[in-house]
Amino acid sequence: MLNQIDLSRIDLNLLVLFETVIEERHVGRSAQRLNLSPSAISHGLGRLRILLGDPLFLKTPKGVVPTDRAEELAAPIADILARVRSVVATAEPFDPARSQRRFTIGAPDGVSSVFLPPLLDLLAKSAPGIAISVRQLLPRQGEPSPDLAWRDALAALEARDMDIAIIPQAEFPVRFASLLLYEEDFVIAARQGHPLLTDQTLATYCAMQHLVVSHMGDTHGFVDNVLASHGCSRQVALTVPNFMFALAVLAETDFISALPRRFVEMHAARFGVVSVNPPLPLGRFAINAAAPKAAMGDEGVAWLVRLLQASMDNTIDKTAAHSGNRPAPIKADT
């Protein structure tokens, strides 16, 4: 967007002015918001037009409207300003009780549905000004290795596109710090009164119509691999793109689905969905929070990681705590 020569003479305040005008769509209101005169806003827009080579805003009887070029620039400029504000915020002592920072956490939807409610409870009590953006993470399609399936998430962390990733990955490159938040396994979920609840044999399970959560609509998953190892198979009648939608569908149909146990425990009851243990062990996996070690030098990020641990400590079941699966300290050693 800006070449090297432009960067040597650009005034960052011009980007703030652009952001304000595109939000307000009015020179007068923008002037009031920035404590400037309307003529100063107009002068700044003139400098921006020269710098960016576009009229940017066109006058109308009710204010101004952005050009197509201005609409294209809105998101990149907002991103630039967000990063600058984040840098400035980290230069000051971090006080969660007074901070107005926004943090971005990436996670699959079945994981964010578990950690977010207790995290929001703690934020409301101790850091009401903190804002959270949740970014949905998806594994690489067709990647057979669990520890490689989430490498796009790790790349996004290093690019600082998000602050923390919470993913079902056990091992991380040494340049990342990681924290075990909880361990997860699977249950079979179905509506109340479903025939499977009174006949939980493997044969009955395989004969049922199955729902699979798959963002891309793939019908084959790890459950099919487990069944195949025992000489069995199942019929996948429906795929849906997220776990909450899965619960809503299960409540109104005779489909069954293998879903994360902790997710089901937290959310299934309000849909009238219940669960039973699977007829075959479907394995356990670790849910870890990860951030680059360099990012952990940011007091705000380090605080948020600790808060995530505290939020899960408040909800973790006693069985996991007594079995030695309690979240461990941050692993930041090389």
Q: CA 207 to CA 84: how far, in whole Å? A: 57
Tell me how far apart the alpha carbons of residues 184 and 261 are, in angstroms, rounded to a whole number: 7
- The domains of the chain are located at 4-90, 102-176+291-322, 185-276
4-90 maps to which CATH number?
Answer: 1.10.10.10
pTM more than 0.75: no
pLDDT of residue 330: 38
Q: Tens of pLDDT along 209-268?
A: 999 999 888 888 889 989 999 999 999 999 999 999 999 999 999 999 999 999 999 999
Matching CATH topology for 102-176+291-322 and 185-276? yes
Secondary structure string (H, E, C) spanning 94-121: CCCCCCCCEEEEEECHHHHHHHHHHHHH
Q: What is the pLDDT of residues 176-192, one digit of tens each?
A: 999 999 999 999 999 99
Q: Are 285 and 168 in contact (CB under 8 A)?
A: yes
CATH number for 185-276 (one of 3.40.50.1390, 3.40.190.10, 1.10.220.110, 1.10.10.10): it is: 3.40.190.10
Helices (H), 208-328: 222-229, 243-252, 261-267, 299-313, 318-322
Query: Taking the CA atoms of the chain, what radius of gyration do you get in angstroms?
Result: 25
Q: How do residues 144-171 score in pLDDT, each as one tens digit?
A: 666 678 889 999 998 888 999 999 998 8
The 8-class DSSP code of residue 282 comes to: -
Whether the CB-CB separation of 138 and 107 falls below 8 Å is answered with no
Fold of 102-176+291-322: D-Maltodextrin-Binding Protein; domain 2 (3.40.190)
* CA–CA gap between residue 251 and residue 271 (Å, rounded): 6
